[in-house]
Amino acid sequence: MSDDKAHIRHHLDLSKAEWVRAEPEGVTLEEVVEYAHIPHTDGVVYTAMRKSTDPEGVVLVFTPSEWDAFLRGVRDGEFDLPGDLAEA
């Protein structure tokens, strides 16, 4: 599997990123996903995503269309646990 964003990653300046915690409203969780919208010199705003408990760890990068598809999947329940696992 190749990294189709390898040419972009080293040009993204994450040092000034304003990370947003993705957690349910009114709930504070210890470990959540954080995301930030990062402008690139190519004029595209990419979305970066990381684990809140490992800010120096792996950062995933999404193009605008990939991020939109991901959000649609979340809204459609594509990533929800099956009923018996969600209750565990």
Q: Is the pLDDT of residue 74 over 70?
A: yes
Task: Tell me which of 10 and 80 has the higher pLDDT.
Answer: 80
Tell me the C-alpha to C-alpha distance, in Å, between residue 56 and each of 40, 41, 49: 20, 23, 12
Task: Tell me which of 22 and 54 has the higher pLDDT.
Answer: 54
Is residue 85 within a helix (H) or strand (E), and if so which, with residue range? helix 83-86
pLDDT-based confidence at 69, cuts 50/70/90? very high
What confidence score (pLDDT) does residue 85 get?
Answer: 55
Q: Is the pLDDT of residue 6 over 70?
A: no
